[in-house]
């Protein structure tokens, strides 16, 4: 059987890729997982692994040539055995004609194997059994299911997780013992390595989606379901968010602030060519308020709260287009306590641009002591954000709204109002303290002189 | 230098009285007592007799008591010291040969490797070689490149030897007595920086079996396997890490050959993480052997790559700062533990 | 004075030669693996020196040790079985030609390393002194060992401690292929030994009686606390360094000259001249030794080879610790 090697899709914007190098010579026997091709896309150079075990029978695209996504690059000649790892005990009748189903004696199928096969839409009679007397066992069915998934991946532009999985041996064993599909797990160790704690937290969060051997209902057929793999960023975020929501006792405080003065300040700065956004105003005010409330500018660790002298503010930047998010990234402005509004604005602009180009360095993504999440630009009035551990609080910023409000003399006046919601970790702080923080924030952001200092 | 970590070691369980003595005296006492027990036991080596009593004073007062017949000072001729010891061992005696520095074993390598270790095997099991070769190695005192080697890995590579490498006075005495009573050749490696360390040693006669590791500190998060002086450094690191809430188990195999694999594997099964600390240079060292053993026998217990902390791959330099830089340090052990725990 | 032993010398030398000739034929016939260093031509030194020793005296030999070890009492049957690598061999197949030894006969081993036997013999002599027995130790070594450290360390120690030690240099004129003049910086090495302070004598190494009587006097001195003695025995190996080296790089007339000084033929003539034994009696000894050798070869060939996994036996005395120490990935 020949398995196609196709040009993989390696990024949202990728339309075609260029073969840099075949890492195996024509005729070589490749194993599934062996590096096979070096491909250059518009963004990166990537090693693509063989998705099947067999002989590299034909190379259709030569180094230096480009091919569109999905184009056949080569064929791997796969021995039947590669799909059925073990030979049946009794010899099967020789194949009469290529393309015709193999004539074989009736299979004996164990009850559990029959059930598993049915769950996955397999006819167990088509499988070769490795049990006593050629009995088709549960394991045979699972092998076939896995092989079919692998084949589906090989011929599909969407693979669950391209590249080699980095998994600790212990995690691999635990996953096997607990029937967990490792391809759906995001590793928490450096380089995304999956380790024991990832499996344990996955088990603690029962989610059938991670169980192995998923069926693919109507995959790829019209009107069916399209499997949309999460990006690495999204998978990491997903895991973090689950942990946060499960482990951190969140509480939420909402406050309205008036923005007239700071908007005037912004206007005057912008007139002088200094680009300052509303978010920059929020960042500066947050930095000032945190200086007064160190327990919110902290990291929760074990039984201790580590108070940070530096105010390192993370702010969320969306990656991807409006209809299909590729995840949020949160660049960090270090040392905000010592930065002026204009400096903060400058750094934020640089980091946001880098974030959109995926050029942030690890330093620029780590070390945050507090996060500001702003959905104001989308018109969201108010929302509650999930704390990003080990931080202990996050500020959710809504849209600027022009409202009619009562002034001191109970006259109705126009107001530029913005609603902010603080999510805080009740292990690290309490309502009174958090309220004090918000009050300070309000005080500062409503006082343009303090912001402009 | 006695570290807080070492003082915190639990006293061994023994009936009767004990006293706190130095590692050096523990070694001397072991020989002294075994010489009383068996008149075939004698000492041979350079500068052993009184009043000098050995370059590191491990034989002080022995010749005063047992006479120069049983404490033989030799010419500076290491190959012949070991060769002659073998000849004596083959003819009914139980020599304890001392190489003044482990570094000098290179002068005796043929005798150690081709003769002592192999004579029983080459003769099809005709003979026994009840020979102990003692030597002190290790750095830390600006002994430079020819007096500070840690060559235990070389010796472990030689089939036919047992290798003891004690870290405490208690272990040193018990292991040396076992070595003297065994009918196989034992290379007994001491450490020059340990001679003045102190520990409780029982008054009663006791031996420590070879191939039985000692858990110097129990823990749950990560396993450190270390030997000789590196045990003390590891205990110090473990103490400091405990302040960060990291629980370290420190295992001292005590004998490198035979190696108590079971204790190490059991610990790794529990902690899923391993750091191996050995003073010898890293490349092809004993630590690599432990790493290979564990990845083979406990692969599926590992949740992180195994870390090694060894000397850098250079000869030992003289200048103290450079020497410290080359030798494994407490800070590096802590770093390795954190790496194994994915903690930065 | 030693006439009652002359026939015995003849028998031992004949035995050694029968063994080595047979080994040579078997080896070249492809029946024996490994190395083979023959001492044919040197039998008088092995026989004369070892005949002066008691079974409980120690002797250390060399890589060219068939003659020495047979003379000191190793059984030719076990030695031949060892050459075949059989379980009935002296080392149960673990040693081969260079490691034939029977420690119960006071043999401290043949030795594949030049001069390495000297310190071991020193240790045995030291041991005899320590244990206050009258045993002596004798170390054989070749001319190739003359410049090596352990020999000189050993001579110093033997003198220093006044050990019952006998140094016997088997000067067969070549260290592998290098003639004595190219590897030793003194014409008469006896001077070196005397420089260490010990009595030293050059001997005709092809005269078994001369060797025997000289070593006897050294043994006597050793037993009575008189210290070490050194002998330089001149001889010649008829064959090359080992099988595979035909030895044809040596001057042909040199080889012929020394073959004409065959120690066995010389001794046979001496026996006949002294009318100690007849031609027939000596022929009978030769036939007897050859027949014994032939039987030893048949027995050795018929003996079982060790199971490969017996390679894991005989390393450590302590079985439990030994098993732990042997443990590796493959076992």
| Predicted confidence pLDDT, tens digits, chain A (453 residues) | 788 888 877 655 667 888 888 888 888 888 877 888 888 776 666 778 787 788 888 888 888 888 888 888 998 888 754 343 334 344 444 444 444 444 444 457 766 666 666 666 566 666 667 766 667 777 777 676 665 554 444 433 333 344 567 899 999 888 888 878 787 787 888 878 899 888 888 777 644 444 444 444 444 455 567 777 676 667 777 877 888 888 899 999 999 999 998 898 888 888 888 889 999 999 999 999 999 999 999 888 777 888 888 999 999 887 766 566 666 778 899 999 999 999 999 999 999 888 877 777 777 877 889 999 998 888 899 999 999 888 999 999 999 999 998 888 889 988 999 999 999 999 889 999 999 999 999 999 998 788 887
Q: In this complex, do A196 and B272 lie within 8 Å of one another by their Cβ atoms?
A: yes
Count the alpha carbons within 13 Å of C293 in the hemisphere toward its beta carbon.
23
Chain A residues with CB under 8 Å of B272 CB are: 168, 170, 196
Q: In this complex, do B183 and C317 lie within 8 Å of one another by their Cβ atoms?
A: yes
The distance of C140 to chain B (nearest Cα, Å) reads 15
Chain C residues with CB under 8 Å of B84 CB are: 119-120, 122-123, 126, 157
pLDDT at position A364: 82
SS (H, E, C) chain B: CCCHHHHCCCCCCCCCCEEEEEHHHHHHHHHHHHHHHCCCEEEEECCCCCCCCCCCCCCCCHHHHHCCCCEEECCCCHHHHHHHHHHHHHCCCEEEEEECCHHHHHHHHHHHHHHHCCHHHHCCCCCCCCCEEEEEECCCCCCCCCCCCCCHHHHHCCCCCEEECCCCHHHHHHHHHHHHHCCCCEEEEEECCCCCCEEEEECCCCCCCCCCCEEEECCCCEEEEECCHHHHHHHHHHHHHHHCCCCEEEEECCEEECCCHHHHHHHHHHHCCEEEEEEEECCCCHHHHHHHHHHHHCHHHCCCCCEEEEECCCCCCCCHHHHHHHCCCHHHHHHHHHHHCCCC
Nearest by CB: B303 against A170, A190, A302? A170
Question: How far is C122 from C166, CA to CA, in rounded Å?
Answer: 9
pLDDT at position C192: 97
Q: In this complex, do A188 and B342 lie within 8 Å of one another by their Cβ atoms?
A: yes
Pairing state of beta strands B198-202 and B18-22?
antiparallel
For B162-220, what is each residue's pLDDT tens digit? 999 999 999 999 999 999 999 999 999 999 999 999 999 999 999 999 999 999 999 99
Active site residues of A: 426
Neighbours of B70 (CB within 10 A): 17
Omega into B258 within 30° of 0, i.e. cis? yes
Q: Which of C96, C316, C321, C331 should one mutate to test binding to chain B, selecting the residue with the greatest count of B CBs within 10 A? A: C316
The distance of C316 to chain B (nearest Cα, Å) reads 6
Nearest by CB: C94 against B83, B122, B211? B122
Question: How far is B273 from B283, CA to CA, in rounded Å?
Answer: 21
ipTM above 0.90, yes or no: yes
Q: In this complex, do C104 and B126 lie within 8 Å of one another by their Cβ atoms?
A: yes
Chains B and C touch each other (3 or more Cβ pairs < 8 A): yes
Chain B residues with CB under 8 Å of A188 CB are: 342
Q: In this complex, do B300 and A172 lie within 8 Å of one another by their Cβ atoms?
A: yes
For B244-288, what is each residue's pLDDT tens digit? 999 999 999 999 999 999 999 999 999 999 999 999 999 999 999
* Percent of residues in chain C assigned helix, strand, coil, to nearest 5: 50, 10, 40
Strand order in the sheet with B248-252: B214-217, B248-252, B222-226, B274-281, B307-311
Check: CB of residue C25 under 8 Å from CB of residue C237: no
The radius of gyration computed from the CA coordinates of chain A, to the nearest angstrom, equals 28
**Is the CB of residue C143 less than 8 Å away from at least one CB of chain B?**
no
Angle at B330 between CA B324 and CA B334, to 5 degrees: 135
Nearest by CB: C58 against B72, B91, B110? B91
Chain B residues with CB under 8 Å of A173 CB are: 300-301
| Predicted confidence pLDDT, tens digits, chain C (331 residues) | 689 999 999 999 999 999 999 999 999 888 999 989 999 999 999 999 999 999 999 999 999 999 999 999 999 999 999 999 999 999 999 999 999 999 999 999 999 999 999 999 999 999 999 999 999 999 999 999 999 999 999 999 999 999 999 999 999 999 999 999 999 999 999 999 999 999 999 999 999 999 999 999 999 999 999 999 999 999 999 998 888 788 888 999 999 999 999 999 999 999 999 999 999 999 999 999 999 999 999 999 999 999 999 999 999 999 999 999 998 877 6
Chain C residues with CB under 8 Å of B92 CB are: 127, 131
Report residue A112 as tokens: 């559990």
C208-223 vs C6-28: helix axis angle to the nearest 10?
A: 110
Report residue B143 as tokens: 């002994």
pLDDT at position A111: 65
Q: Which of C325, C328, C331 should one mutate to test binding to chain B, selecting the residue with the greatest count of B CBs within 10 A? A: C325
pLDDT of residue B99 exceeding 60: yes
- Residue C142 DSSP SS3: strand
Read off the pLDDT of each residue in B54-65 and give the average, rounded to a whole number: 96
Chain A residues with CB under 8 Å of B342 CB are: 188-190, 193, 195
Nearest by CB: B87 against C91, C94, C121? C121
Question: How far is A316 from A336, CA to CA, in rounded Å?
Answer: 16
Q: In this complex, do B300 and A302 lie within 8 Å of one another by their Cβ atoms?
A: no
Nearest by CB: B304 against A172, A195, A302? A195
The distance of B249 to chain A (nearest Cα, Å) reads 19
Chain B residues with CB under 8 Å of A172 CB are: 300
**Is the CB of residue B84 less than 8 Å away from at least one CB of chain C?**
yes
Nearest by CB: B122 against C91, C161, C322? C91
pLDDT at position A323: 63
Name residues 122-151 of chain B within 8 A of A (Cβ): none
Q: Which of A167, A170, A195 should one mutate to test binding to chain B, selecting the residue with the greatest count of B CBs within 10 A? A: A170
Q: Which helix (H) or strand (E) holds C164?
A: none
**Is the CB of residue B93 less than 8 Å away from at least one CB of chain A?**
no
* Percent of residues in chain B assigned helix, strand, coil, to nearest 5: 40, 20, 40
**Is the CB of residue A362 less than 8 Å away from at least one CB of chain B?**
no
**Is the CB of residue C78 less than 8 Å away from at least one CB of chain B?**
no
| Beta carbon pairs, B and C, within 8 Å | 165
pLDDT at position A50: 81
pLDDT at position A82: 39
Check: CB of residue A133 under 8 Å from CB of residue A141: no
Name residues 113-172 of chain B within 8 A of C (Cβ): 114-115, 119-128, 159-160, 162
pLDDT at position A87: 41
**Is the CB of residue B212 less than 8 Å away from at least one CB of chain A?**
no
Report residue B268 as tokens: 């790794």
Against chain A, the chains showing at least 3 CB pairs within 8 Å are B
**Is the CB of residue B304 less than 8 Å away from at least one CB of chain A?**
yes
| Beta carbon pairs, A and B, within 8 Å | 29
DSSP strand E in A259-368: where? Answer: 298-301, 304-307, 313-315, 317-320, 325-329, 332-333
pLDDT at position B29: 97
Report residue A414 as tokens: 């126009």
Q: Which residue has the tokens 């026994």?
A: B128
Nearest by CB: C90 against B84, B124, B210? B124
Neighbours of B27 (CB within 10 A): 27
pLDDT at position A303: 76
Name beta bridge partners: B307.
Answer: B275
User: Phi and psi of B275, rounded to 5°?
Assistant: -125, 130
Q: Which residue has the tokens 């602009």?
A: A349
Nearest CA in chain A to B295: A169
Name residues 183-242 of chain A within 8 A of B (Cβ): 188-190, 193, 195-196
Q: In this complex, do C324 and B258 lie within 8 Å of one another by their Cβ atoms?
A: yes
Residues 6+ apart with CB under 8 A from C147: C183, C184, C185
Report residue A68 as tokens: 């569109």
Q: Which residue has the tokens 């080992």?
A: C242
Chain B residues with CB under 8 Å of C61 CB are: none
Against chain B, the chains showing at least 3 CB pairs within 8 Å are A, C
**Is the CB of residue B49 less than 8 Å away from at least one CB of chain C?**
no
Active site residues of B: 147
pLDDT at position A223: 59
Q: In this complex, do B245 and A302 lie within 8 Å of one another by their Cβ atoms?
A: yes
Name residues 18-37 of chain C within 8 A of B (Cβ): none
Tell me the torsion sign for CA atoms C246, C247, C253, C255.
Answer: negative
Selected residue with higher pLDDT from B10 and A337? A337
The distance of A173 to chain B (nearest Cα, Å) reads 6
């Amino acid at each position: 059987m020949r398995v196609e090697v196709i040009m993989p899709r390696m990024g949202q914007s990728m339309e075609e890729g260029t073969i840099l190098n075949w890492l195996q010579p024509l005729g070589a026997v490749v194993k599934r997982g062996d590096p096979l091709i070096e491909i250059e896309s518009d963004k990166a150079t990537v090693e693509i692994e063989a998705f099947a075990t067999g002989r590299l029978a034909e190379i259709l695209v030569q180094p230096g040539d480009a091919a569109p996504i999905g184009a056949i690059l080569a064929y791997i000649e796969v021995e039947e055995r590669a799909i059925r790892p073990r030979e049946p005990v009794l010899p099967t009748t020789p194949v009469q004609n290529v393309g015709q189903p193999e004539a074989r004696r009736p299979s004996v199928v164990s009850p559990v194997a029959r059930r598993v096969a049915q769950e996955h839409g397999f006819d167990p009679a088509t499988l070769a059994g490795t049990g006593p007397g050629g009995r088709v066992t549960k394991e045979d069915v699972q092998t076939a299911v896995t092989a079919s998934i692998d084949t589906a991946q090989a011929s599909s532009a969407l693979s669950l997780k391209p590249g080699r999985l980095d998994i600790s041996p212990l995690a691999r064993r635990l996953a096997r013992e607990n029937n967990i599909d490792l391809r759906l797990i995001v590793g928490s160790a450096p380089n995304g390595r999956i380790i024991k704690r990832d499996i344990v937290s996955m088990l603690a969060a029962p989610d059938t989606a991670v169980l192995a051997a998923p069926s693919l209902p109507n995959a790829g057929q019209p009107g069916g379901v399209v499997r949309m793999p999460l990006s690495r960023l999204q998978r990491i975020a997903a895991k973090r968010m689950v942990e946060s929501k499960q482990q951190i006792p969140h509480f939420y405080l909402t406050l309205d602030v008036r923005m007239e003065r700071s908007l005037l300040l912004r206007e005057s700065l912008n007139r002088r060519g200094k680009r300052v956004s509303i978010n920059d105003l929020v960042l500066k005010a947050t930095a000032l308020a945190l200086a007064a409330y160190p327990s919110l500018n902290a990291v929760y660790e074990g039984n201790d709260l580590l108070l940070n002298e530096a105010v390192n503010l993370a702010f969320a930047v969306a990656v991807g287009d409006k209809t299909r998010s590729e995840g949020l990234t949160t660049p960090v402005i270090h040392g905000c306590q010592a930065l002026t509004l204009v400096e903060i604005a400058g750094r934020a602009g640089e980091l946001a641009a880098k974030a959109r180009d995926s050029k942030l360095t690890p330093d620029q993504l780590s070390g945050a002591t507090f996060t500001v999440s702003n959905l104001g630009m989308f018109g969201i009035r108010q929302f509650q954000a999930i704390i990003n551990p080990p931080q202990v609080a996050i500020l959710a910023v809504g849209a600027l709204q022009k409202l009619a409000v009562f002034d001191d003399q109970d006259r109705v006046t126009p107001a530029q109002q913005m609603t902010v919601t603080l999510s805080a970790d009740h292990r690290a702080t309490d309502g009174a303290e958090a309220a004090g923080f918000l009050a300070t924030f309000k005080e500062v952001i409503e006082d343009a002189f303090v912001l402009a200092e | 230098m006695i570290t807080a970590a070492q003082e915190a070691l639990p006293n061994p369980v023994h009936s009767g009285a004990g006293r706190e003595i130095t590692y050096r005296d523990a070694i001397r006492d072991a020989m002294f007592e075994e010489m009383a027990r068996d008149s075939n036991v004698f000492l041979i080596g350079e500068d052993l007799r009184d009043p000098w009593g050995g370059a590191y004073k491990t034989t002080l007062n022995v010749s005063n008591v047992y006479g120069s017949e049983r404490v033989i000072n030799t010419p500076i001729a290491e190959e012949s010291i070991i060769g002659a010891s073998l000849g004596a061992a083959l003819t009914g005696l139980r020599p304890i040969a001392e190489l003044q520095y482990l570094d000098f074993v290179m002068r005796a390598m043929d005798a150690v490797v081709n003769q002592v270790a192999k004579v029983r095997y080459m003769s099809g099991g005709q003979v026994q070689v009840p020979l102990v070769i003692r030597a002190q190695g290790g750095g830390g005192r600006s002994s430079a490149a020819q007096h500070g080697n840690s060559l235990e890995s070389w010796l472990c590579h030689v089939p036919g030897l047992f290798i003891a490498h004690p870290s405490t006075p208690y272990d040193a005495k018990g292991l040396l007595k076992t070595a003297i009573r065994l009918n196989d050749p034992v290379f007994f490696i001491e450490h020059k920086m340990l001679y003045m360390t102190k520990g409780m040693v029982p008054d009663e006669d006791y031996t420590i079996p070879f191939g039985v590791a000692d858990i110097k500190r129990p823990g749950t998060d990560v396993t450190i396997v270390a030997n000789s002086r590196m045990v003390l450094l590891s205990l110090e690191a473990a103490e400091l890490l405990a302040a960060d809430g990291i629980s370290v188990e420190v295992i001292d195999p005590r004998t490198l050959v035979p190696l108590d694999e079971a204790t190490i594997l059991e610990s790794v099964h529990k902690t899923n993480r391993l750091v191996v600390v050995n003073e010898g240079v890293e490349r092809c060292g004993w630590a690599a052997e432990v790493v290979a053993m564990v990845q083979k026998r406990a692969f599926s217990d590992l949740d992180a790559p195994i870390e090694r902390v060894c000397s850098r791959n250079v000869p030992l330099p003289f200048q103290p700062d450079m020497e410290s830089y080359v030798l494994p340090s407490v800070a590096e052990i802590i770093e390795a533990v954190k790496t194994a725990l994915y903690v930065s | 004075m030693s006439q009652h032993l002359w026939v015995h010398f003849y028998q031992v030398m004949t035995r050694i030669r029968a063994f080595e000739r047979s080994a040579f034929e078997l080896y070249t016939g492809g029946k024996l693996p490994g190395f083979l260093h023959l001492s044919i031509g040197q039998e008088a030194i092995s026989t004369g020196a070892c005949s002066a020793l008691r079974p409980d005296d120690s002797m250390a030999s060399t890589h060219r040790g068939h003659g020495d070890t047979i003379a000191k009492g190793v059984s030719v049957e076990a030695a031949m079985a060892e050459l075949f690598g059989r379980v009935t061999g002296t080392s149960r197949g673990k040693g081969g030609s260079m490691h034939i030894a029977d420690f119960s006969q006071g043999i401290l081993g043949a030795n594949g390393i030049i001069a390495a036997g000297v310190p071991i013999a020193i240790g045995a002599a030291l041991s005899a002194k320590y244990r206050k027995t009258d045993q002596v130790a004798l170390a054989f070594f070749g001319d190739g060992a003359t410049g090596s450290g352990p020999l000189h360390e050993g001579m110093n120690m033997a003198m220093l401690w006044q050990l019952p030690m006998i140094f016997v240099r088997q000067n067969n004129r070549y260290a592998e292929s290098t003639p004595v003049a190219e590897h030793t910086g003194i014409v008469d090495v006896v001077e070196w030994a005397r420089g260490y302070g010990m009595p030293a004598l050059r001997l005709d190494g092809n005269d078994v009686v001369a060797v025997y009587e000289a070593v006897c006097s050294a043994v006597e001195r050793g037993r009575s606390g008189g210290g070490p003695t050194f002998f330089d025995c001149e001889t010649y190996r008829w064959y090359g360094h080992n099988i595979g080296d035909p030895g044809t790089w040596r001057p042909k007339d040199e080889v012929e000259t020394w073959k004409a000084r065959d120690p066995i033929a010389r001794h046979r003539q001496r026996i006949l001249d002294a009318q100690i034994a007849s031609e027939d009696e000596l022929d009978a000894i030769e036939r007897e030794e050859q027949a014994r050798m032939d039987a030893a070869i048949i027995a050795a060939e018929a003996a079982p080879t060790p199971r490969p996994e017996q390679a894991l036996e005989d390393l450590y005395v302590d079985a439990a610790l030994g098993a732990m120490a042997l443990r590796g990935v493959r076992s």
